[in-house]
Amino acid sequence: MKILVTGGAGFIGSHIVRRMLELEHEVVVLDNFSTGRRSNLEAVASDIDVIEGDVGCLDHVEQAVAGCDAVFHEAALPSVPRSIADPLSSHQANATGTLNVLVAARDAGARRVVIASSSSVYGSVPDLPKRESMPTLPMSPYAVSKLAAESYCRTWFDLYGLETVALRYFNVFGPRQDPLSAYAAVVPRFIGAYRAGEPPVIFGDGEQSRDFTYIDNVLDANMGALESPAAPGRIYNIACNDRITLNELAGDLGEIMGATVRPVHAAPRPGEVRHSQASIDAAREDLGYEPRISLREGLRRTVAAFELESVEVSA
């Protein structure tokens, strides 16, 4: 198949690109490199077609999707704090960008579009574990934009027959995740701090909990979403059906890395949920999804990858 990966230079997108190449698919990447890194694609640059463009521009998306059989839509402006500071940009990238992808994919005759959604759409719903049938009460512009993207997907499936699948990612982490961004996710932030001999910063009391998901598990879920006959028109949680507090996460990473510093705490950030844990029953049934890599093993692999990247850069 010919596959378009939007946001293919980003953390998750670049992993999907490599998995698609391993499966001998033809791959096109659309990325504006605002958050994606060219270095993420260096090793496969000769094997893919890279289009520098923005999902916020319909013309760019139409150019990229021409002749493609399927789309993995990973392009987004991530981060709850970023969206609170700049809600218009989040909406343009995440909601309007998804609409452009769906319009272009429909008109190009693509068979299926798999989009990256987020556990943040559940928001302040207190019940655990989170199930796809629960109401959504988003607490940030980022979450609202992802919920809008999901709604467009369902509508495109119902109205036009485009096979859409939305995957609600829960705290994905792994190699090539940027630790330097002002909006970096918690795992690379903690690793970066420990490597620098600095105490990682935990916002709030650290007793908030998350269902962390290693990147290889997410890749397996995306492969299932691409192929499963039961998936079109559906939404799935992608996680490990487990949770850990940020205090525990910092302790585990410190132990793995042999750190001698201890975390410090800062004021809680607005718009963030207190506890998050996923039910993955639907993904297991429809996508054949089973998280193969545990949190602890994923953390070990991620730390090792960050150390290797450091050695390669210094060399």
33-71 tens-digit pLDDT = 999 999 999 999 999 999 999 999 999 999 999 999 999
- The answer to whether residue 138 sits within a structural domain is yes
Whether 185 maps to a domain, the answer reads: no
Asked if 119 contacts 239 with a C-beta cutoff of 8 angstroms, the reply is: yes
Cis bond leading into 129, ω under 30°? yes
Tokens for 257, please give them: 């890395």
In angstroms, the Cα distances linking 23 to 49, 186, 255, 291 are: 16, 31, 36, 20
Yes or no: say if 295 and 214 are a contact pair by the CB < 8 Å rule: yes
**Band (159; pLDDT cuts 50, 70, 90):** very high
pLDDT-derived band at 76 (thresholds 50, 70, 90) equals very high
Q: Is the pLDDT of residue 18 over 50?
A: yes
Tokens of 95: 């909601």
Q: Say which CATH number the domain at 164 has.
A: 3.40.50.720
For residues 130-152, average pLDDT: 97
The answer as to whether 312 is a domain residue is: no
pLDDT band per the 50, 70, 90 thresholds, residue 138: very high
Confidence of residue 315 (pLDDT cuts 50, 70, 90): very low
In the predicted structure, residue 279 carries a pLDDT above the cut 70? yes
Structure tokens at 18: 């490599």
287: amino acid identity, one letter: L
Is the residue at 47 inside a domain? yes
Structural domain contains residue 104: yes
Overall number of domains in the chain:
1
Q: For the ranges 238-242, 249-253, 287-291, 308-312, which has the lowest average pLDDT?
A: 308-312
Q: Flag whether 300 is in a domain.
A: no
With cut-offs at 50, 70 and 90, classify the pLDDT of residue 180. confident
Residue 273 has a pLDDT of 87
Given this model, what pLDDT does residue 179 score? Answer: 79
Residue 183 counted as domain residue: no
Q: Is residue 38 a part of any domain in this protein?
A: yes
pLDDT at 182: 64
The model carries a pTM of 0.94
CA within 13 Å, CB half, 299:
21
Which residues have C-beta within 8 Å of that of residue 239, sequence separation ≥ 6?
119, 169, 170, 171, 211, 213, 277, 278, 280, 291
Q: Give me the domain span that covers residue 131.
A: 2-173+213-240+280-292
pLDDT digits (tens, 9 = 90+) for 261-270: 999 999 998 8
Point out the least confidently predicted range of 77-91, 164-178, 182-196: 182-196
Report the C-alpha gap between 243 and 175 in whole angstroms: 21
